[in-house]
Amino acid sequence: MQDNLARGLQIVSRAVSSRSTLPVLANVLLRTEDAGLKLTATNLEIGMTCWVPGKIEVDGALTVPARLITDVVNSLPTGERVDLNAEGASLQIRSGRHQAHLRGIDAEEFPVIPSAGERPTTRISQRALRQALAQVTYAAATDEARPILTGVLTKFEGDRLTLAAADNYRIAVKTLTTLDPVEETSIVVPARSYVELMRVLSDMDDPVEVIITPAKNQILFHLEGVDLVSRLIDGQFPNYQQVMPTSHTTRAVVERQEMLNAVKLSALIASSSANVVKLRLDGGEGGLTIAAAADIGDTEGQVDAAVEGDGVAIAFNARYLLEALQNLDAEQLALEFTGPLSPGVLKPVGDDEYVHVIMPVRTPS
């Protein structure tokens, strides 16, 4: 059916390589399998496989340009039957009174993608994993200068899974529970792979199966109708625990949305200078002041805060603060500081499984 095929192509086309020197990597592999059609695409970092229900008349396989077949199928009448027929290196697509022929490349030239044939290493609730990834992946580095930091440390210990991402300015760590215990294993998964996984995970508690290959060079996620396989990043992830603050002299509890609104306002001014926003916490009921100043103007916002300990003034990069606030769904956050030049800590109130650390910015005043 057109809608099933269009959905499957949309899922796998996220893994298609756009800048590869191998022409076949711009293609999607169509192969008959398990009483239906198996669609596969890869850029050699991640591979996506999706099964589309259908009726097989003759077994076969062919690769065709991913973007072209996706556009062709999307332009066919919705809800109609689509007939696919491969002859040599050509694919005929028919639906109702419409037909198209696409030139392809032999399926033998397509890289082999592992499939979920092995016993799962563990299983995790899709909703829990999706929420955890949303709270961590954005903190990974995008600069390839240190490839290990473009990944997310994925550490299994018994029935606990810890995800940690860091660049040179922040660290996000989330711990969640798996459905099956695993012996202690640490791997580093590219953050880009996890971003694609988040797109296919559902907001339900149905489990996703996790399979780590015996050679520990790939990880595979299997959910109903979809597989995502990712290469792993070689190397030792930095010991982030060394820089995690273990104490504080100032603690404040704020409403996350109220603080987010104030930071957004200050970020508008901060973006025209060094992108710095300043936070000031006054002891007692003084609350939290968030401000920014630049040549074009200045801004200041007040946020209710229950403050314990000393007052403190500290500056942060507006983008890092915004991303942390936007990717958390807690109603209240605890802010912990030990001075203007020490890292700041954000924690959801009532959730001990997540911590976010941001390095401060030095300012003249």
Domain hosting 96: range is 2-109
Confidence check: pLDDT of 116 > 70: no
**pLDDT tens-digit series, residues 56-110:** 999 999 999 999 999 999 999 998 999 999 998 999 999 999 999 999 999 999 9
Last residue of a domain, one of 201, 224, 242: 242
Q: What is the pLDDT of residues 222-238, one digit of tens each?
A: 998 999 999 999 999 99
234 with 283, same domain: the answer is no
CATH number for the domain spanning 17: value is 3.10.150.10
Check whether residue 30 and residue 85 sit in a common domain: yes
Sort residue 138 into left (φ over 0), alpha (ψ -120 to 50) or beta.
alpha
- Both 133 and 39 in one domain: the answer is no
Burial label for 317, CB within 10 Å (0-12, 13-18, 19+), is buried
Tell me, what's the pLDDT at 284?
65
**Backbone phi, psi, residue 189, to 5°:** -105, 130
User: Which residue reads 């500056």 in tokens?
Assistant: 315
28 and 12 Cβ atoms separated by less than 8 Å: yes
190 and 233 Cβ atoms separated by less than 8 Å: yes
Contacts of 56 (CB under 8 A, 6+ apart): 32, 35, 36, 37
Residue 365 belongs to a domain: no
Q: Which residues pair with 28 in a beta bridge?
A: 64
Give the angle subtended at the CA of 33 by the CAs of 231 and 222, to the nearest 5°. Answer: 35
- What does the alpha-carbon distance between residue 210 and residue 121 come to, in Å, rounded to a whole number? 6
Domain end call among 242, 269, 289: 242
Terminal alpha carbon distance of the chain: 65
Q: Dig out the tokens for 61 from the structure.
A: 């396989």
Instruction: Tell me the H-state helices in 41-184.
Output: 66-74, 126-136
The residue out of 218, 242, 266 marking a domain boundary is 242
Q: What is the mean pLDDT of residues 135-151?
A: 93
Check the CA dihedral 178-181-183-184 and report its sign: positive
How many domains in the chain?
A: 3
* 101 and 84 inside one domain: yes
| Helix %, strand %, coil % of the chain (to 5) | 25, 45, 35
User: According to the model, what pLDDT value does residue 354 have?
Assistant: 96
Q: Which two tokens stand for residue 60?
A: 């076969």
96 and 190 fall within a common domain: no
Residue 118: is its pLDDT beyond 80?
Answer: no
Q: In the beta sheet, which residues pair with residue 166? A: 171
Domain presence at residue 194: yes
Q: With a cut of 80, say whether residue 286 has pLDDT above it.
A: no
Using pLDDT thresholds of 50, 70 and 90, give the confidence band for residue 181: very high
